[in-house]
Structure 1
Amino acid sequence: MVNELTGKVAVVTGGASGIGRAIVERYVAEGARVVVADVERERAEELVRACGPASVFRYTDVGDIEQVASTVEFAIERFGGLDVMCNNAGIPGRMHKSFLHDDLADFGRVMAVNLLGVMAGTRYAASFMAEHGGGSIVNMSSIGGIQAGGGVMTYRASKAAIIQFTKSAAIELAQYDIRVNCIAPGSIPTALLTTSMSAMADERSERLTRAVRASMQTDRPLERDGTPEDVAEAALYFAGDRSRYLTGTVLPVDGGTTAGKPLRRKPAPAPAAPTPTS
């Protein structure tokens, strides 16, 4: 479909880089007017220049619910409404040697950005949508919120909470024709993993990042890496009318990782020899 979001207004939190940037670019390409809500001013302003007048930057720390409310109000005043709220902003928290070494010092900040930001974005967007014909809310979780595993426990807990919140909000807001869905990316190369290891020495951080990436590839049935653009396609689907009968859905975009372990890689079979004819 072409111009799938023509006439729609969207807010994308964490829209300056990574998955958020890909979503902004996809929404604009499909005809939406987009507020890029982020704390990374320089990157966001560069993106807005590239996207043209259909986008605008709004400094927003989603861990502050007053800033989230102000951004929603800004979108409505600037573009005349709000049809899509994409709660994408998130931070990883610090990687520790083990949970026993985690002092939980970043618990409050991770939960504020990852969970409170999603809840506030949903609440303020839905308050407008409920009185203006409905809309679509797209929340960003992670396969770390679906599958248990070691490391970054606070991050995993925040992403699992987003899934439960999304389903609960979908039930309550359905009466207003507001759809609330969730994407759970996995094996998407972004800066998030590197950021979680920022406190480590550069050499150790690079070595561990490579090891984690290799493990992700081993655990993924599809051989190719995912991209931010793959996630943006899912965000476009939930934003547009093709998903008008979907709400409370959690969609892993992970190359099959959450489906199960891949089979051992086998070489492609040789083509069959032609059958002799008489």
Structure 2
Amino acid sequence: MVSAPAAGTVAVVTGGASGLGRASVERLLADGARVVVADVDRDAGEALAKELGADVRFRYTDVAVPEQVRDLVAVAVGEFGGLHLMVNNAGVSGAMHASLLEEDFADFQRVLSVNLLGVMTGTREAARHMAAHGGGSIVNISSVGGVQAGPSVLTYRASKAAVIHFTKCAALDLAEHGIRVNCVAPGGIPTGLLASATATDEMTDRIRAHMAAMQPLPRPGTPEDVAEAVAYLGGDRSQHVTGTVLTIDGGTTAGLKPTRPAPAP
């Protein structure tokens, strides 16, 4: 049975209005947590908070702006009286180029500001509160693109690899305060992020098919699978777990799907 955050837990989920973030918000809420949803999509965030009820608040937050992340933590503490779980999920992809030779790095600052600085600032601001209030759990969302090398979206891959290393460093730094810092690395989960990097729907579908063909487990991954990992790392059964990376990828980073010879006729 997956461990869940205790009832009464206060959580913040950045990028929580859609995709993996929304699934985590709904999972934590079902476990009895009160959740602050942070997102740059104001309409989606406000609609989600209204839909999910009194235990959810929405706060417009661009995680690339450290002052907004600081204010986000203050909202959680002010609205719900504390902060026990910080889920740094907000992320963006870069434009997909055919080759490094064609890469212009035009989106470098934005990708690194959201994907890396946003995680670093979210971790710091949450930890400042947690260190003074008995500890807590921080879950950073990376990607299998940060674990396993591959071509294209190189700035995105680099940012997600940096999230993993930062998570391990923060885990060591914050352990004395009873703060656990872990990382979830999803792969092959259908969300809108891939489509934002590709030029056409056809290209998106082709890439998804390729990813599925490489995955050893035949079952497709879902945002709810990632939410389960977040709930585990934020729950009381992972009290001795910190500085780890939990891949949710159907076995892709373990190795490519085996190809077996056809049986003899």
Checking the alignment, whether the CA contact within 8 Å between 1:5 and 1:27 is kept in structure 2 is no
Instruction: Determine if contact 1:170/1:248 at 8 Å carries over to the other structure.
Output: yes
Equivalent residues in 2 for 1:38-77, closer than 5 Å: 38-77=39-78
In structure 1, the residue matched to 2:111 is: 110
Answering whether residue 138 of structure 2 is matched by residue 143 of structure 1, we say no
Question: For residue 262 of structure 1, what is the aligned residue in structure 2?
Answer: 257
Whole-Å separation in 1 of the counterparts to 2:223 and 2:260:
25
- 1:127 is aligned to 128
Per-residue deviation, 1:266: 9.0
In 1, Cα distance between the equivalents of 2:47 and 2:261?
Answer: 45
Structure 1 residues 160-209: Cα deviation after superposition (integer angstroms, max 9, x where no partner):
00000000000010000000000000010000000012xx3xxxx12211
Task: Give the paired residue count.
Answer: 261
Name the CA distance, whole Å, in 2 between partners of 1:4 and 1:266.
46
Provide the C-alpha distance between the structure 1 equivalents of 2:158 and 2:57, rounded to a whole number of angstroms. 32
Deviation at 1:41? Answer: 1.0
CA contact (8 A) 1:145 1:160 kept: yes
Q: Take 2:251 and 2:228, find their aligned partners in 1: how far apart are those partners?
A: 16
Q: Secondary structure at the match of 2:86?
A: strand
Question: In structure 2, how many angstroms separate the alpha carbons of the residues matched to 1:132 and 1:107?
Answer: 36
Q: Which moved more, 1:22-31 or 1:256-265?
A: 256-265
1:264 deviation in Å? 2.7
Structure number with greater CO (CA < 8 Å, separation at least 6) is 2
Query: Can you list the C-alpha shifts for 1:29-54, whole angstroms capped at 9, x where unaligned?
Result: 00000000001111111211221101
Counterpart contact for 2:5–2:234, Cα < 8 Å:
no
**Equivalent residue letter for 2:247:** P
Amino acid in structure 1 at the alignment position of 2:39 = D
Whichever residue aligns with residue 34 of structure 2, its letter is R
What percentage of aligned pairs have identical amino acids? 60
Report the alpha carbon displacement of residue 3 of structure 1 after superposing the two structures with TM.
Answer: 6.7
- Give ranges in structure 2 of 5+ residues lacking alignment: none
Q: Partner of 2:195 in structure 1?
A: 194
**2:30 paired with 1:29:** yes
Task: Give the structure-2-normalised TM-score.
Answer: 0.96
Residue 245 of structure 1: which of 240, 243, 249 is its match?
Answer: 240
1:272 corresponds to? none
What's the CA shift for 1:265? 6.7
Structure 2 Cα separation of the partners of residues 266 and 257 of structure 1: 21
Contact 1:140–1:183 (CA under 8 A) maintained in structure 2? yes
1:231 matched to 2:232: no
Largest Rg, 1 or 2: 1
- Offset at 1:263? 1.8
- Where 1:90 maps in the other structure, the secondary structure is coil
Select between 48-57 and 16-25 the one with higher mean Cα deviation. 48-57
Distance 1:42 1:233, change over 3 A: same
Q: What amino acid is the match of 2:119?
A: V
Distance 1:82 1:155, change over 3 A: same
- Match for 1:231: what amino acid? V
TM norm structure 1: 0.91
Runs of 4+ in 1 over 6 A off after TM superposition: none
- In structure 2, relative to structure 1, the CA distance for the partners of 1:138 and 1:266 (3 Å cut) is farther
The residue that corresponds to 1:179 in the other structure is: 180
Cα distance in 2 for residues equivalent to 1:221 and 1:251: 17
